[in-house]
Amino acid sequence: MGEIASSHTSLFAMTVFGGMGFQPMRTRRWTPQDKLENRAMSQKRTSKTSETKRVNESRRDFIKTAALGAGFSALAGGAATAAAPDVPGRPIARPKPFEEISAAPVKEFAFPATGGDIFAQVCKEEGLAALFCCPGNYEIVSALANAGIPSYGGRNEGSMCSAADAFIRVTGEVAATSGTEGPGFTNMICAIAAANACRTPLLVLASNMTLRGDDTERGIQRGYQQPMTEGIKKYGKRVVTKERVHEYAGYAFRQLKTGVPGPVHLDFVSEATGRESEIASATDLDAYWGRGQYRTDSRPHPDPKDIDRALDLIKQAKRPLIVASTGVFYSKAWDALKAFAEKAQIPVAESGPMRGHFSDAHALSASAAPNAMFSVDLAILVGQYCMPGLGEYPFDINCKYIRIDPNAGDIGRNIPIDIGIVSCEKAALEALAAKSPAMNHDAWIAEVAAAREAFEKENDEHYALGKSYTDAVHPAVISTELANFLYKGKLAPEQTTIASGGFGIGRYTRRRLRAFRPGQICNGAYQYGSIGPDVGYTLGVGVAKDLGIGAQKPYQGGPVIGITGDAGFAYSAFEIETMAKYKIPGIVIVYNNNAWGTWSGYSRMPRAGHMHLFQENLRYDKIAEALGGYGEYVTSPDGFTPALERCWQIAVNERKPSVINCQAKKEFWIQRDFPPGMLGKVEPGVMAYNH
């Protein structure tokens, strides 16, 4: 990569500078005579620059005089300017290679092989589910694609990293993302940090400068990536030796598939993966061990004494609650969770970067019962990898805590734990279900049911208010009518997978969105709260559904829904084009209130307020059309459901992505003028953002 960049730089210098009287870039050492010639040339350039500056100033004076003369007067008097010629549009079309992907042959692995081929073979054996990337890191991404790993090329490395993150959150399987050194990799940092906050087992791949280019800053090379991801990854390594590519691939998957997950960052120098990295045979590799030798699928099981202590504490509780989080999903413990909750009659609230591991349709679901959270006297935190601090969960001040986690070193952080169980979540829940006696918490379950009913009544009141504002689309209208379409119409409630994003709009849609099976909702803003990944998340969720990977297998195919705001849409909107070219039927709902969500706090500060505003009534739907998708512009509450129905039909029949541009207004966040205004939140459960 370093040589490629340097050769491009040389070509640029010869082409541009050569035309300006410069000599082509030299490869030999400069002589004293060269330096004298260069000094004379420099003096000549200085003289020429002064002359050029004088001529340019004369030109500016002439243009200014002309503008103030007859021409300017004619324009001021209303004379028409020449209209731009009407250029007939050409149909948007997919290039032929997109039609040939499925029929293209898979490259079978054999020695001799490059380091890139060896790495791709490990990824294939480990079941790497997908790759999301932009051009760059060519030896690695080409090897992965040629090995048969489903690969997707998009428009922005950060958005494609977000797509991989969302793909993992709704499948439970490992996916990879890739960027080139320099700008491509740095563009991924925010998305890597978001994945780290969600404990996503994301494989981050990047190219790097050649070893012989170290410390030279040749081209765009910057060298040392690993310090840039310190604190936002589980493991990282710069791979510089071709003989150890297989070994470090094993390191990566050991970290990705054991313990508490998190991003793994590998960057490769060209000598380890490119054409010069060819390995003649397996005997030339260091630590060439198989999957069963460099990692284990064994999981820690709970101490029986800890299970007994936990059950004793549960028997004493009057209002126990299971908080089922990230580890329940990744350990595929949803059946064990259901069995334990039903036997002990304990309500369950979900938390985490994905939802659905405990169905919202279950009588014990407390996710949509926020008012019940205040009286919880025992919280059983299962797989809660990102721990809240005291007060972030609104439990009773005297609440006791049981925590089940595979990492003993994290138990006791942020919240004092009464009983800590070091175990795989699935193993612990199975042990609790097997040993628990049948319990009765009827009064508590009735309290949770009443809280659910009150919550839905409050949502209905918000909807009635939203419908009363007829000159724009209120978020309560979007949230309620979207939920009615997904769960109360012709669709099976468990069918549609959702990328839940946005901040202001999310305060409403999260209250109405429901999950009935594992991985049905990707909780976009979980913990890190980055702005703008939502279209990327929709792409990743759409690919997962399209391929039917992991938890999405029983629900393969069909449209997916993404939700975002007008602020967030700008960051990843171009991935609409990526969805279009791969025929991913994603429907992106954009809440367009002409402002950042921070507007209301600065609306009365004339010198600062403008920084929080956009131009009004922007046509994000037209962007979708220009990128090969379909667009709808909704300006009144009665228009949302018909627009959603049309987009759904287009997604089903044409497999084309859509944008529903919902025209709102910034004043909807002011409670005094437009109740209910910006809503609060209670965590855990459907309203959660952070935990």
pLDDT in tens, 329-380: 999 999 999 999 999 999 999 999 999 999 999 999 999 999 999 999 999 9
Residue 614 pLDDT more than 60?
yes
Q: Is the CB of residue 159 less than 8 Å from the CB of residue 579?
A: no
Q: Tell me, what's the pLDDT at 492?
A: 96
Provide the percentage of residues in the chain whose pLDDT is more than 70.
87
Q: Tell me, what's the pLDDT at 551?
A: 97
Q: Tell me, what's the pLDDT at 212?
A: 81
Distance CA 129, CA 187 (A): 23
Q: Tell me, what's the pLDDT at 531?
A: 86
Q: Tell me, what's the pLDDT at 215?
A: 77
Q: Tell me, what's the pLDDT at 353?
A: 96
Q: Tell me, what's the pLDDT at 64?
A: 46
| pTM given for the model | 0.88
pLDDT in tens, 402-436: 999 999 999 999 999 999 999 999 999 999 999 99
Sorted by where each begins, the domain ranges of the chain are 105-294, 304-445, 470-669
pLDDT in tens, 242-289: 999 999 999 999 999 999 999 999 999 999 998 889 999 999 999 999
Q: Tell me, what's the pLDDT at 216?
A: 75
3-state helix vs strand vs coil in the chain, percent to 5: 45, 15, 40
The domain covering 304-445 belongs, at the CATH homologous superfamily level, to TPP-binding domain (3.40.50.1220)
| Enclosing H/E stretch for 239 | strand 235-239
**Residue 690 corresponds to which amino acid?**
N
pLDDT band at 50 (very low <50, low <70, confident <90, very high): low
Q: What DSSP string describes 671-682?
A: TTTSTT-S----
| Enclosing H/E stretch for 336 | helix 334-344
Q: Tell me, what's the pLDDT at 210?
A: 83
342 burial via Cβ count (<10 Å: 0-12, 13-18, 19+): middle
Distance CA 621, CA 375 (A): 46
Residue 439 pLDDT more than 80?
yes
Q: Which CATH architecture best describes the domain 105-294?
A: 3-Layer(aba) Sandwich (3.40)
Q: Tell me, what's the pLDDT at 8?
A: 36
Work out the average pLDDT over 462-477: 97
Residue 79 pLDDT more than 70?
no
Interior CA angle at 465 toward 489 and 606, to 5°?
125
Residue 36 pLDDT more than 90?
no
pLDDT in tens, 506-557: 999 999 999 999 999 999 989 988 889 999 999 999 999 999 999 999 999 9
Q: Tell me, what's the pLDDT at 222?
A: 58
pLDDT band at 57 (very low <50, low <70, confident <90, very high): low
Domain 470-669 sits in CATH at 3.40.50.970
Which of 79-88, 153-162, 206-215, 347-356 has the lowest average pLDDT? 79-88
Residue environment code for 236-249, b if the CB has 16+ CB neighbours within 10 A, otherwise e? bbbbbebbbbbbbb
430 burial via Cβ count (<10 Å: 0-12, 13-18, 19+): buried
pLDDT band at 53 (very low <50, low <70, confident <90, very high): low
Query: In the sheet that 235-239 helps form, which strands lie side by side, from edge to edge?
Result: 151-153, 131-133, 175-179, 202-207, 264-268, 235-239
Q: Tell me, what's the pLDDT at 70?
A: 44
CA 600 to chain centre: 27
Q: What DSSP string describes 509-523?
A: HHHH----STTSEEE
pLDDT band at 66 (very low <50, low <70, confident <90, very high): very low
- Arithmetic mean of pLDDT over the chain: 88
pLDDT in tens, 284-300: 999 999 889 999 999 99
Q: Tell me, what's the pLDDT at 6?
A: 35
Residue 547 in tokens:
């391929």
pLDDT in tens, 39-48: 555 554 445 4
Phi-psi region of 144 (alpha: psi -120 to 50; beta: other; left: phi over 0): alpha
Q: Is the CB of residue 538 less than 8 Å from the CB of residue 604?
A: no
Work out the average pLDDT over 623-640: 97
Phi-psi region of 21 (alpha: psi -120 to 50; beta: other; left: phi over 0): left
Q: Tell me, what's the pLDDT at 218?
A: 66
Shared fold status for 105-294 and 470-669: yes
pLDDT band at 223 (very low <50, low <70, confident <90, very high): low
